[in-house]
Amino acid sequence: MLGLDYSWLADPAYQRWLLIGVVNTLKLAALSSSAAIVIGMLGALGFTFRIFWLDALIELFVEVFRNTPPLLQMLFAYFTLSTLGLKVTDPSTGLSVPLLSAFACAAISLSLFGGALAIEAFRSGIETMPRSIVDAARSLGYGRWARFWRIEAPIATRICLPALTNILTNLFKTTSQASVITVPELMYYAGQIYNDTFRTLEVMILVLLIYVALVSMLTFAMARLEAFMAFPGYGRGL
Amino acid sequence: MSRIEALIELDNVRKSFGDFEVLKGISMFVQKGEAVCIIGPSGSGKSTILRCINGLFPIDEGFIRVGEHRVHELKSDKAMRALRHQVAMVFQQYNLFPHRTALQNIMMAPIQVLGHDRAEVEERARKLLKKVRLSEKADSYPGQLSGGQQQRVAIARALAMQPEVILFDEVTAALDPETVKDVLFAIRELVEEGLTCILVTHEMKFAREVSQRVCFTDHGLIVESAPPAELFDNPQDPRTREFLGQVL
């Protein structure tokens, strides 16, 4: 069929590589997505205090990590964090190794990148909320913290879920760039396999299908979450 | 009327938004159990007075006391918690929390802010829903209720805080004419039960029937304050006469 040759897929070594690649991709995506959501919430919470220097600090963070290529951020993290001093001696081998592995550097840099985007998403959710609802909460005696967690965050999360879905799917796909700094995820092993077999097109088609499957699971889960969190009068709630 | 007996006392309250002075020295007293209506043209500062009384707006100058709370001295929402327990507010746009049901809207603050027992609060909330004749809507979300129904839930939510004073801020202004009477009925009951109420309203007929005193505001000042029969039938100030001539 179209001259595609998938006989290499029968090789257990390549099967193992693909499996490890998928697992590492999932790990990297899960870690950086969770961290990005936490960073996003904290950043948005920070904005609600309306303290000048805190606003400026969060703003700077967002601008730096949103306006530069994630690949560059990852290379930066890799060459600074892993080479500048931070070394430990591996007790089993006695060799001096970087404290932060390539995987850790990729996870950190993707978390910050996703976090910067998530801050903006959550902020838009909070700022879209009618000011009068905040007044109502104040008039009922809610202080700033309780107001944020009980009223602003739940409503804002619902409002910004579609934007958050976009950010998380993009973040998931961006994990493939970690292959450049030698993180053994799916894209990295794809390269290894086609360098071995010269079956570039076949490998790319397979990897593409795997990404479609994985990211579709994510968007499906987010759609379910949206339906679960819907309330009447907002979005698709009835 | 003496200042000491008054439950609420405002003295020469001034408030500006930017260059615009909304309140130019408001002084008023409200006795316990009294229902006072504030009427006046748009932009005359009526709603701002209410928001200053419960501390939603900080004032620039003057003195506000509610019970034992000196409102102008309270600086944070935390410091105002006891005040907000005593003074509840109902808004023109209802401002129910859209992500919670009617019953949950009523129960939230007593449990989360006042720390009252959940079971006891639920019983209280169901009684209040019955009182505003919405028992069957307990599990509906605000988005599923009509404006009049939402406003009655908002009144029940305010009452659930067991306040001594309720501030009503043009609560019927956003409603269809046929639902206005349900809301006014609910408010009238509260006044008759002796709850202290301050109402900013455009419903002159209601103001006349329900209140013991009516204050007319214009350009940030209380121009005239009198029992409704007196103020409506024999207004003293020309500005009051002009306003009433337009709305009656």
CA distance A163 to chain B (A): 19
CB-based contact A135:B56 (threshold 8 Å): yes
pLDDT at B1: 52
Task: With beta carbons under 8 A apart, name residues in chain A contacting B76.
Answer: 143
Residue B199 pairs in a beta bridge with B37, B168
Question: Would an 8 Å CB–CB cutoff place A234 in contact with chain B?
Answer: yes
Arithmetic mean of pLDDT, B175-197: 89
For residue B94, being part of any structural domain is answered with yes
pLDDT higher than threshold 90 for residue B241: yes
**Which residue from B151, A111, B55 is spatially nearest to A100, judged by alpha carbons?**
A111
A85-94 per-position pLDDT tens digit: 566 666 677 6
Task: With beta carbons under 8 A apart, name residues in chain B contacting A150.
Answer: 108, 112
CB-based contact B90:B154 (threshold 8 Å): yes
For residue B196, being part of any structural domain is answered with yes
Confidence of residue B175 (pLDDT cuts 50, 70, 90): confident
Domain that holds residue B174: 8-100+163-247
Prediction ipTM score: 0.91
Closest A-chain CA to B146: A233
CA distance A109 to chain B (A): 35
Give average pLDDT by consecutive 10-residue segment, chain A, 238 residues: 83 94 97 96 89 95 95 90 65 70 92 96 88 93 90 89 94 95 94 93 95 96 91 68
For residue B152, being part of any structural domain is answered with no
pLDDT at A90: 67
Q: Which residue has the tokens 């030698």?
A: A182
Arithmetic mean of pLDDT, B86-98: 94
CATH of A12-81+98-229, one of 3.30.70.890, 3.40.190.10, 1.10.3720.10, 2.40.270.10: 1.10.3720.10
Tell me the domain boundaries of chain A.
12-81+98-229
A122-177 per-position pLDDT tens digit: 999 888 888 889 999 999 999 988 998 899 888 988 889 999 999 999 999 999 99
How many domains in chain B? 1
For position B39, which CATH number holds? 3.40.50.300
**Which residue from B59, B48, B70, B30 is spatially nearest to B166, judged by alpha carbons?**
B30
pLDDT at B201: 92
For residue B185, being part of any structural domain is answered with yes
* Chain B interface disruption, residue of A140, A142, A150, A161, most B CBs within 10 A: A140
pLDDT higher than threshold 70 for residue B72: yes
pLDDT at B176: 85
Instruction: Report the half-sphere exposure of A164 (CA within 13 A, side-chain side).
Output: 27
Output the CA–CA distances (angstroms, integers) from residue A106 to A82, A113, A115, A136, A182, in the order listed.
11, 10, 14, 44, 10
Closest A-chain CA to B81: A141
For residue B144, being part of any structural domain is answered with no
Q: Tell me the count of A-B CB pairs closer than 8 A.
A: 82
pLDDT at A85: 57
The two three-digit tokens of residue A4, written as one number? 């595609």
pLDDT at B85: 93
Indicate the residue of B77, B96, B112 with minimum beta-carbon distance to A138: B77
Task: With beta carbons under 8 A apart, name residues in chain A contacting B98.
Answer: 133, 155, 231-234
- Out of A87-96, B140-149, B229-238, pick the least confident: A87-96
Task: With beta carbons under 8 A apart, name residues in chain B contacting A140.
Answer: 84, 88, 108-109, 113, 157, 161
pLDDT at A168: 96
Residue A148 is given by DSSP the state I
pLDDT at B2: 59
For residue B132, being part of any structural domain is answered with no
pLDDT at A134: 92
